[in-house]
Structure 1
């Protein structure tokens, strides 16, 4: 009789429920369906449940187990009702899963800890999150070459958008209308600024807020699901992303059309190669925007500085590659590849899921600039329509390049890290000086793992 057959129906039901609740939180935070499925199966296996079947279709999750061939299967369902980026809960659940796999906690303790995670609040007040979104848009404004006035206005606009969307969310307005309202409010604030004697470019404010609205869209999860064979979930996530982006376009284009109707000139942005000082400001703004986004998404404080550093290096790579004339999509793809490569290692050092590092680090490279240029050209009409369509296609290709680059970097980084660990174990002797190997739980091992032949000789 197998271990799973010895479990009672109550224990099996509780195990399935725990796995589903963990999978729900991971899926709602933007994790790929393949990662969620593997995590749920690993949790069930660690609790003694073998041969479980998992089915994920974006809004619903099911998990089943048949104790024996002549017994009916036990099936449980769970619906993903709310999708919100919450990296604090994601990190705590990741630690809980690791503790389960190490057998440090049992089923009862895991259920209690998961209940505490989902029901407890956060370590920062909600007004601080609003300020974090403001700092993010201020960093994007600085990245685009804006002066202090642009940074402050972008900060104020982002805070206003966050409060507006928070109020709409509490009234259960769909995400599409929240995006329309956010894009429209950003444009209206830019128009009001343009009507004042202040000599600044309102388009920088609009572009910074577009990046903020794009930050919560799950492009990465959609592409990862498509690459790993979860086509139904990928299609649903892609539809959600397109609908949210359409909301931004509707809100911003409505504001731009209003500007032309009242006679306010909205200038276009034409990004050039930039000077050395301009590149320095872009790197600084990128680091600030990435760290602020991580803070606003409740990422652990210990991860903010490393995320800022990774994002700054990625922006430097993107600009240095783009300087010789390589296309925008390829430059951001190479930068995203770097983020994917180092994000796996950095996340392991910080004890956070890699999703926290990679998503935050690439947020400053989201194609808000291309979307804004495309909208302004389309609003002009005439001969500018083709150029506007080209800019919108460029925005789509940049978003796809970011997602593909990050995922490819993760694919390459994981086996490379495993092989490096094996090579270190083979070559290293007893450590008297130098770094020690670290286990997943954070404890250190002073001696390298012995080979199978050595262990056989010792036992003999």
Structure 2
């Protein structure tokens, strides 16, 4: 059995960050030339291989289920060194995790890597992995117990709901988003159908091996088609709400936020890979909608351009839509249900404050970055107390801040042949989304800085 400690340990991510960022001298973690010590086990090489396999599997899972590259590297480092490996060097490069190190008493280094072939945002599993690594760092589990617990977390039965879970939840995301951007009950229903059909088509194509670009291009088409279908009888705000809601339900928000976090923490190759993935999906969604709206324009069906939400609206239906939107995003990402209420509160607060900032004349970039920083700070504070990842709270909380109105104006401009205006609008959309991601990352870094300063002062 593992040695159990009654003293609460430092959270494992906080424990590993100083070393990963070069804030500790190298001699403090095994590079001063000291000898490797045998702890008495018979076959150290086989033991080290089992430790390396466990560390790699947990690192792969952290990255695949939505964690940052730094979280994956820290998790592998903490697990490997807790079970006795020394001179450990974990790494993440694009879709590969690797680990090298020495088992006690062995002169031949261990080295192994795993390729991540499938990514799936699953914050429930991510939280369970965080808790498992926390228990490992606290020495509550021996190696065999940790391997068995990892198998239970990662090899358990699939999520209930089957193939219809994600389409229905995507429809709910679109329904909530349509209310945020000016739609009513009927518009919300149409948006739900658009989101459901789009996600179902994307899932069906994915099961047949179709690349992501084509999947998301096809998935975005129902929103444009239904918007054109109701444009003759529905008010202009309803057409905008359907298009925006259908698109926002498909945008890779988690991937984009993770890419910016990886870039800010020095994992440039991984950030580049995630950013390319996010931009490819974004381009596919834009392409699908523009094709449908462009065909409608050729047929004489023009989509109107309407203003975005103004200050007087936020006390009414858009505020309810922001709550539904945030909770639906949380549910689709398999966030634990105990986090739905905090996510709803963060989403509502972010939406209300962002509308107020707009009324006071703040630019979209500055206002978005400030609100995202506050949302990120609140999420990281709660996550630190729970010793879990902050993403399950932060991502749903910033969802109502996505620039839907600007995105709609850009899409309509591209569909009507005003290419320069449309591209300029998409650049603005990308800049606002970047401000979201940077604001979220900034709050986390400020929290880490405050903890390090307090630790040194103590």
Q: 1:348 to 1:69 in 2, by over 3 A?
A: closer
Question: How far did residue 385 of structure 1 move?
Answer: 3.9
Of 242, 257, 271, the match for 2:279? 242
Q: 1:216 to 1:170 in 2, by over 3 A?
A: farther
Question: How far did residue 347 of structure 1 move?
Answer: 2.2
Q: 1:215 to 1:282 in 2, by over 3 A?
A: farther
> Alignment length, in residue pairs?
420
Of 268, 277, 295, the match for 1:231? 268
Of 65, 84, 99, the match for 1:48? 84
Distance in 1 between residues matched to 2:369 and 2:146, nearest whole Å: 39
Distance in 1 between residues matched to 2:159 and 2:202, nearest whole Å: 22
Map of 2:218 onto structure 1: 181
- Return 5+ residue gaps in structure 2 as ranges: 1-34
Question: How far did residue 143 of structure 1 move?
Answer: 0.7
Residues 339-372 of structure 1, C-alpha deviation per residue, up to 9 Å, x if partnerless?
A: 1111012224556421111112112222333222
Map of 1:358 onto structure 2: 394
Q: Which moved more, 1:397-406 or 1:223-232?
A: 223-232
Of 111, 120, 131, the match for 1:75? 111
Distance in 1 between residues matched to 2:253 and 2:373, nearest whole Å: 20
Computed over aligned residues only, the root mean square deviation of the Cα atoms, in angstroms, reads: 2.4
Question: How far did residue 109 of structure 1 move?
Answer: 1.2
Contact kept? 1:287, 1:308, Cα under 8 Å:
yes
Contact kept? 2:330, 2:396, Cα under 8 Å:
yes
Q: Which moved more, 1:313-322 or 1:19-28?
A: 313-322
Of 256, 261, 264, the match for 1:219? 256
Of 324, 332, 340, the match for 1:296? 332
Contact kept? 1:3, 1:48, Cα under 8 Å:
no
Confirm or deny that 1:343 pairs with 2:379: yes
Distance in 2 between residues matched to 1:333 and 1:191, nearest whole Å: 34
Of 322, 327, 332, the match for 2:363? 327
Q: 1:274 to 1:133 in 2, by over 3 A?
A: same
Confirm or deny that 1:142 pairs with 2:176: no
Map of 1:455 onto structure 2: none
Residues 57-101 of structure 1, C-alpha deviation per residue, up to 9 Å, x if partnerless?
A: 121121111348983321111000001111121111111111111
Q: 1:95 to 1:68 in 2, by over 3 A?
A: closer
Distance in 1 between residues matched to 2:66 and 2:383, nearest whole Å: 16
Distance in 1 between residues matched to 2:415 and 2:132, nearest whole Å: 51
Mapping for residues 310-459 of structure 1, pairs under 5 Å? 310-349=346-385, 352-381=388-417, 384-416=418-450
Map of 1:432 onto structure 2: none
Contact kept? 1:342, 1:413, Cα under 8 Å:
no
Q: Which moved more, 1:136-145 or 1:64-73?
A: 64-73
Of 264, 273, 298, the match for 1:261? 298
Confirm or deny that 1:95 pairs with 2:137: no
Secondary structure of 1:244's counterpart equals: helix
Q: TM-score, normalised by structure 1?
A: 0.85
Distance in 2 between residues matched to 1:404 and 1:183, nearest whole Å: 27
Q: 1:351 to 1:42 in 2, by over 3 A?
A: closer
Q: TM-score, normalised by structure 2?
A: 0.86
Contact kept? 1:23, 1:37, Cα under 8 Å:
yes
Question: How far did residue 208 of structure 1 move?
Answer: 0.5
Map of 2:30 onto structure 1: none
Distance in 2 between residues matched to 1:151 and 1:261, nearest whole Å: 27
Question: How far did residue 113 of structure 1 move?
Answer: 1.4
Q: 1:217 to 1:306 in 2, by over 3 A?
A: closer
Secondary structure of 2:84's counterpart equals: coil
Question: How far did residue 233 of structure 1 move?
Answer: 1.3
Contact kept? 2:228, 2:239, Cα under 8 Å:
yes
Distance in 2 between residues matched to 1:318 and 1:288, nearest whole Å: 17
Q: Which moved more, 1:98-107 or 1:410-419?
A: 410-419
Residues 85-123 of structure 1, C-alpha deviation per residue, up to 9 Å, x if partnerless?
A: 111211111111111111111111111111121221356
Question: How far did residue 380 of structure 1 move?
Answer: 2.3
Map of 2:196 onto structure 1: 159
Question: How far did residue 147 of structure 1 move?
Answer: 0.8
Distance in 2 between residues matched to 1:20 and 1:4, nearest whole Å: 23
Question: How far did residue 159 of structure 1 move?
Answer: 1.2
Contact kept? 2:172, 2:325, Cα under 8 Å:
yes
Distance in 2 between residues matched to 1:186 and 1:42, nearest whole Å: 46
Distance in 2 between residues matched to 1:143 and 1:44, nearest whole Å: 46
Distance in 2 between residues matched to 1:272 and 1:312, nearest whole Å: 14
